[in-house]
Structure 1
Amino acid sequence: MAKKKSDNVLVRYERFLKYLSEGQYTQEEICNFLNISKRTLYRYIQTARKQGKNITIKNGRIALAEPCKQKEIKIELSADEKLLLSLMIEATNAYVSFFFENNPEYFRTLFNLVPERFIEVIPQPKSQLTILQRSWLLRIYYNLVEKNEFLEYEITYQKPSGEINTYKIVPFRLLFQKRSWYIVAACFEENEKLATEYRTFRINRVITLHETGRTFLPEQIAEARKRYALDRRNAWEFKGGPGTTEVIIKVHDERYWTFLTEVCWHPTQRNHPSQKTISFEVFDPNEMLPFLVQFADGIEVIAPRTLREKLFEFLRKSIERNGC
């Protein structure tokens, strides 16, 4: 059986690579040895380079050099920067891994010029920060990273009710939660040397911020940081503390059951399919009220009774305000 033309081309190309590996040659020498045209030689060179071969042409002589060794670049990242980077990677994987992991053709299609888009990502709502508020966020972060002492700031802060107050705070953590950035800070009483309390401040509600010139050592805010870490374990959003209350909701709508159980809303969430109930262990059940309102027509709060009553009162007021 006669060999295909493509087979002969492949053989000549392999001979071309082997020939170059043995020395340096002119165009004429290579063309005569392989019995090819200069145009074919040029095509071989281009193909080899696309395959990562280091083809060099110097003083009219062609050679196959050793692969270029890339210089190793070391990038030092802080623990926070590593966390942010890992979150970006995790978010990217969550959006696109479904399309790419089983069929790499999706990957190629996405990055080619195609006449129509088939993937749409809708930006999620988030707090709007001014340029000044962004600069404060960065200043606090870099002061935390670069200095071994914790700086005190005086801020003017507007509460959701519109009330404006002034606070002196010592930030020790930046928190991104519920699509907003928060400053977590130790709060010192007058002439107090050790802070045991902390508060969270939403950065988009900060009106003014400046450094007071006072600094505190890590051990002076250690208790506040420890309390914050403990509170985060059983807080639904922000409020944590010693002890928890079990929240049990019964789901009467199958659609809501699917939606509520396909997402882990809290680390303590337990789904009970046989009873169609979901339980949580949180410090302040009242923080769950906005979450429960979304599903109020298909769920029933079994415990605690105080949360059930608050949900009822919330819905009663809503009906009074919006009822016909």
Structure 2
Amino acid sequence: MQQNRLFEIIYILLRQGRATAGELAQRLEVSRRTILRDIDALSQAGVPIYTEPGRGGGIAIMEHYVLDRAVISDEEQDQILLALQSLGAAGPLDSAGVLGKLRAIFAKDETDWIAVDLSRWGNAAADAAKFDLLKNAVLYQHVLSFTYASSYGAITQRRVYPLRLVFKSKAWYLQAYCLEKRDYRTFKLNRIGGLAAESETFDRTGLTPPSIENESAPPPVVAHLSLRFTQAMAYRVYDEFDVENIAVEPNGDLTVTVDLPQDNWLYGYLLSFGAGVRVLQPRCVARMLCQAAEGIKNLYPPQ
């Protein structure tokens, strides 16, 4: 705990130049006496930190100070910068500001060899705003309210204690304690609508969501599928399935064997390929897909 606080003190002083012991104590939620002990510890560790008495004085670090490499190794520094650069491209982080400050602390040259954008095409601003609201609700423990569309087509109103944001299998999820269900639930961000942060806050002490793999909800029914895609669908097949599950046929078609949840999502997903996919097995999925396609056809009677 003290080590984290010492790093935070260095970061604050490098960012704003100087601060009083009282300001640091309020910012870090400790006593002024604790801050003074931390300043002594930093000084003994070789950090060129000093105090100036009187009006306009305070605690400061000598100009051009670079964080001792012994505190954080070169490899650890690179990992921190890479992680922030990757996530920052999605919009929730002030990547330019945070990365610039950390590069200055670590004395690293400017690098921009990776760019990761986790937002959807044409929806970057809305996705970033939603993510920022969720992030702040998790950090500052604000109750969230929203509507949620389940994979079974039901739309329900939820109030939750937001606990964790998780990126898994090409999608962001919110893990939260649901006040309606009185249990932990995982919500896919793209299915959340009408999102609002309430003024009510909560205490997250003792609230630890399970990992997504170990949730108490019953596992979905899984279908072992054999799918035949036309050659024109190759770009999506290689985007969305593992290479080891893809077999190229002599005519250029692609056969995919994969296990997927057998629910409404599956039929919508398969329909997104149009006539570019044929379900070889199981036959029950092929029949359900035909029924879904027939239902779509019936929406458009001949003129």
User: TM-score range with shorter-chain normalisation?
Assistant: 0.3 to 0.5
Point out the structure with max Rg over C-alpha: 1
TM-score by length of 2: 0.48
TM-score by length of 1: 0.45
